[in-house]
Structure 1
């Protein structure tokens, strides 16, 4: 079924914005490789600095959702785009680690707005939500892949400060596009008796709704998403640095040697491209596989992949094995995301959906950012083996809670928290 004009307009706007959020997000680890050389500081300290930037990305999701309800989704998304672009312009003029930290924190605060606001816009404005959510996810993965690819490619020829400024340009263009785009943000709920601007929750209402939400199966979902976020953020932050130090990849170093960029960065980008297939496959499987089963199975795979990196990085293995392992990691790292998004829809009541997604991204990007500081410490003070044991431990934790969700499925689904989302998926 073809999308109507309003659906197409919202799809185009949110796809552009979603891709840019991750365009900026995943270019940061590429810059980290350069900054470690440029500012001559240890990986532990820079891990803390980068964590300060990524933490608001998740911590701001909950207030971002509340602000979107109060002021509307379009203004909040435009503020997100403008803030992210400004943050990278700050990075472009940075001459110290303090300014780098300021730019990253600004980026994290601005970026935190998008997911609750963007998902809210789709849920209230789009008739064919399933199709738009699918393309929205693919656009996000496209940004995830293109950000580091473009950054790594430009760094071969240009100074990192110039590259940071250039990466901000698409964000400025998206702001101009968003100001001109025409769509009805409430078209999908226009006929509902309760349609209309949502009132902002009072502090007492927020506390009460939160208490009700965490007394349901959502509490289990929240914790397993936090473990997935720890795995996701720690892996994607430090894998470029780990890959570039492997003998099989060092032997393929670019002749120019400019800015420390190596072919390992392109293997990292390839991992993110494969993630697009994982995201699409995972989304399709949510129509056939219950989220608890899918989550439990993929967490088992993620444990195996983390442990597989230990011999791969410790021994002088060939390039083919490294590429294959990175490809598998990229596929499953993103295949798991539609399953936890579907779990939120199934295990929460409709009237708490916005709040539940705010908490979900608080867990994914906020609590998940803790692994940046932990990972930096482990890599700096211990070893790569210890790092991947830590990452594998996060997947084990997620798997335990996915198992709890699976074992308690009947009780959870028969409880008051069950929604009608499953029938719509």
Structure 2
């Protein structure tokens, strides 16, 4: 990787880590919110799904803005907005006002992925490797954020913990804003794309959308949406699922009671960093089409096996949790590489905008689906339902290979 590749990678690693710190501590608060707001998993799952859904709704304008104005300022603004959203979450007195605060947080969070990922696919030459490190940083955030939150929740009230969580973003903003790089260092616009880039307003948006939704991108878009639905369905209630397993108990340390399941949750998120790295490297080493077939096959097996493993003792439970964390996150850099492969460089921002409208917008429905399945059928029904999504994605990935 050259200097520009490395600087862009460092910058997006900071932004991605911040996004996942905030995104993945919300499920830990869900366990508390179920109690203090006295609502069912189905109701709270729907409220959380709406907040997460704004990540997708805002992704489309974010992608268009990244194409027009560049990615750096959007990534920095996203970090500032996510911190502000957590301030509002800490002040929410009812579940409905909590929902409004989550919507505001989701709107700010929506700015990151289209801006950050289009920066990688346009600005770096070794995209797969940059996506691998980008993914690892995201999983460090997903692991460190929940781990620190768990420790803070053992001694502090949850509203104070939410306030304290603004500081990582403020530090990230300070560091990221000082980095300098060429946002288009890895690509060159074609002559036809320069003409398209001169269009204005709605005409430009419609012209770019028409260019985008042809050929393989449509299939890649659906694959990413299915992966996002699975991701949200798994992780919204996973801390609650693990807490209810009899193999995990409470541990008393320095007079404080700590739930061992919360550390298992943080550990499987950390292992996801290895999955992200492997997925990104596979995209460079082999075609991303074949790589995603392997990832989806593994997810299907893990999903169908999960209810049986968690009933087979502590060691089996830890093994299946580790496999879940590894393979869920392994898929992400692969479908990101697919998006870069199946779209023109000058509309990468818009392509990621539409994609994350699917991943985090439509995919947010996974939280509601999971809440209903868990309420009426337990973890057995939950993981059977969730296995449908990677199964469908596997078939579509097979179509891409045959088509190619």
Q: 1:62 aligns with which of 60, 63, 68?
A: 60
- The separation in 1 between residues aligned to 2:144 and 2:223, in whole angstroms, is 28
Corresponding position of 1:41: 39
The CA RMSD measured in Å over matched residues stands at 2.7
Corresponding position of 1:394: 389
- The separation in 1 between residues aligned to 2:122 and 2:291, in whole angstroms, is 28
Corresponding position of 1:229: 228
Corresponding position of 2:135: 137
Q: 1:276 aligns with which of 273, 278, 293?
A: 273
Distance 1:48 1:253, change over 3 A: same
- The separation in 2 between residues aligned to 1:270 and 1:363, in whole angstroms, is 28
- The separation in 1 between residues aligned to 2:368 and 2:258, in whole angstroms, is 23
- The separation in 2 between residues aligned to 1:145 and 1:164, in whole angstroms, is 16
Q: Is the 8 A contact 1:54 1:369 kept in 2?
A: yes
TM-score by length of 2: 0.91
1:88-99 pair list within 5 angstroms: 88-99=86-97
Q: Is the 8 A contact 2:115 2:349 kept in 1?
A: no
Q: Is the 8 A contact 2:67 2:347 kept in 1?
A: no
- The separation in 2 between residues aligned to 1:364 and 1:94, in whole angstroms, is 27
Distance 1:177 1:295, change over 3 A: closer
TM-score by length of 1: 0.87
Q: Is the 8 A contact 1:64 1:113 kept in 2?
A: yes
Choose between structure 1 and 2 for higher RCO, CA contacts under 8 A separated by at least 6 residues: 2
Question: Deviations for 1:210-233, whole angstroms, at most 9, x for unmatched residues?
Answer: 233222111111111111111111
Distance 1:283 1:95, change over 3 A: same
Distance 1:340 1:318, change over 3 A: same
Distance 1:205 1:148, change over 3 A: same
Corresponding position of 1:80: 78
Distance 1:200 1:59, change over 3 A: farther
Corresponding position of 1:336: 331
Question: Deviations for 1:336-378, whole angstroms, at most 9, x for unmatched residues?
Answer: 2222122222223334333222222222222211110111112
- Flag as ranges the 4+ runs of structure 1 deviating above 6 A: 189-195, 256-260
- The separation in 2 between residues aligned to 1:96 and 1:257, in whole angstroms, is 33
Specify the SS of the correspondent of 1:40.
coil
Q: Is the 8 A contact 1:141 1:273 kept in 2?
A: yes
Corresponding position of 2:20: 22
- The separation in 1 between residues aligned to 2:178 and 2:334, in whole angstroms, is 34
Question: Deviations for 1:283-339, whole angstroms, at most 9, x for unmatched residues?
Answer: 1212332222222232122111111122234x3x21110100011111111112222
Q: Is the 8 A contact 1:15 1:139 kept in 2?
A: yes
Corresponding position of 2:350: 355
1:130 Cα offset (Å): 5.0
Q: Is the 8 A contact 1:156 1:256 kept in 2?
A: no
Q: Is the 8 A contact 1:69 1:200 kept in 2?
A: no
Q: Which residues of structure 1 form unaligned runs of 5+? A: 410-425
Corresponding position of 1:243: 242
Q: For structure 1, which segment, 60-69 or 202-211, has the greater mean C-alpha deviation from structure 2 after superposition? A: 202-211
- The separation in 2 between residues aligned to 1:115 and 1:306, in whole angstroms, is 26
1:188-207 pair list within 5 angstroms: 202-207=201-206
Corresponding position of 1:420: none
Distance 1:336 1:122, change over 3 A: closer
Q: Is the 8 A contact 1:73 1:118 kept in 2?
A: yes
Distance 1:127 1:192, change over 3 A: farther
